[in-house]
Amino acid sequence: MGWVTAKRLFFLVILVAVTLAAIHVTIPEPARLTPLGSKFRDVLAPAQSGLTWLSRQARQVVSLPVSLYGAAERSQALEQEVERLQSEIIQLNEYKAENQRLTDLLNYKQVMVQQYDLLAASVIARDPGNWFATVTLNRGSRDGVRENMTVLTPQGLVGRVITVTNANCEVLLITDPRSGVGSLIQETRTPGIVEGTVGSSGTARIIHIPNDAQVEEGQVVVTSGLGSIFPKGIPIGQIASVSIESAGLFKSADIRLFAGVNQLEEVLIVTKVYPEADTPPAGGG
């Protein structure tokens, strides 16, 4: 049924209903119906019921498009509100995660206040060609940053500063093969050198371990303090597997790093080491 046809039918029903109502009002009803009038009313009763039903149906047909249009508008408004709320939830979760990371940094600074002066920094860039080689931080010489300063997180060692500008600095990660960190196996005090691996996926290894040294999976590796770059006792990682080097004179071991170098967002730069600091720092895990 077309819109015009439904509209005409609706007005026809209204007209008939009004006519019947007028007849009912203007013609005085006798005190008692005659037999003929009673039969006439009985005949008209079904027709009146049908006209009433038809009037209701016509009204529904006329109002249906308007109702559907209103429902579509309300549905669209609700969808937009849901999208807005979902976006706000994502933003709130991001703020919550950032707040937790900054809280961890602050707590670590307070724990290490007698050993180091620590400067918080954010990662603003990475080497797209080698994700595990270097990162750029938003701190530079104007903030007191200098070359070879140690960079870490509350979990463990990250690397060292290699270049500094007025506003930024570049950090060589311990996962880069160019990096070398004097280290110790904490449980046995066995020395070695931690270096990044070629084609690194965020891992490192400790090399030049004496062949007779006891090296086992799960042992903790920390900085040795030798070489005057990295302070002693900073957690690096845990031994994951042990092998004999090709020359057969030393052992080497793969390390699971404590610091998630592939997920760095905020770090700490060690700007000063106090000479009396001889207690290994907290961290690792």
Look up the CATH number of the domain holding residue 148: 2.40.10.340
Whether 159 has a pLDDT exceeding 70, the answer reads yes
pLDDT, residue 268, reads: 94
Domain shared by 222 and 175, yes or no: yes
Q: Is residue 177 part of a domain?
A: yes
Domain-ending residue, one of 58, 74, 90: 74
| Confidence bin at 85 (pLDDT 50/70/90) | confident
Q: What is the pLDDT of residue 282?
A: 45
Q: What is the CA radius of gyration of the chain?
A: 41
The burial of 183, by beta-carbon neighbours within 10 Å (0-12 exposed, 13-18 middle, 19 or more buried), is given as buried
Residue 109 confidence class, pLDDT cut points 50, 70, 90: confident
Question: How many helices (DSSP H) and strands (DSSP E) are in the chain?
Answer: 2, 12
Query: What's residue 165's pLDDT?
Result: 96
Q: Is the same domain home to 63 and 119?
A: no
Angle at 71 between CA 69 and CA 77, to 5 degrees: 105
Strands 266-273 and 157-164: unpaired
Residues 128 and 230 in one domain: yes
Q: Flag whether pLDDT at 49 surpasses 90.
A: no
Overall domain count for the chain: 2
Nearest CA-CA partner of 161 in 121, 112, 205, 106 = 121
56 and 142 assigned to the same domain: no
Cα 76 to Cα 67: distance, rounded to the nearest angstrom? 14
Residue pair 105/154 in contact by the 8 Å Cβ criterion: yes
The pLDDT confidence band at residue 119, using thresholds 50, 70 and 90, is: very high
Q: 282 in a domain, yes or no?
A: no
pLDDT over 70 at 279, yes or no: no
Residues 132 and 10 in one domain: no
pLDDT at 276 over 70: no
Both 61 and 135 in one domain: the answer is no
Of the given ranges (75-89, 161-175, 236-250), which has the lowest mean pLDDT? 75-89
Domain-embedded: residue 95: no
Whether residue 85 is contained in a domain is answered as no
Closest CA to 182 of 233, 251, 239, 248: 233
50 band by pLDDT with thresholds 50, 70 and 90? low
204 and 153 both lie in a single domain = yes
Q: Considering only CA atoms, which of 142, 165, 139, 141 is closest in space to residue 151?
A: 139
Residue 222 contacts by C-beta under 8 Å, 6 or more apart in sequence? 183, 184, 186, 232, 233, 234, 235, 236, 280
| pLDDT value of position 91 | 79
Q: Do residues 68 and 127 share a domain?
A: no
Decide which of 282 and 125 is more confident. 125
Question: Which residue range is the domain that position 241 belongs to?
Answer: 112-273
What pLDDT shows up at residue 90?
A: 80
Predicted local distance difference test score (pLDDT) of residue 285: 45
- Whether residues 118 and 239 share a domain: the answer is yes
Would residue 80 count as lying in a domain? no
Residue 89 lies in a domain: no
Residue ending a domain, choose from 45, 74, 103: 74
The partner residues of 222 in beta bridges, in order of sequence, read: 184, 235
Regarding whether 191 and 143 lie in a shared domain, the answer is yes
The answer to whether position 181 is within a domain reads yes
CA dist., res. 179 & res. 192, Å (int): 13
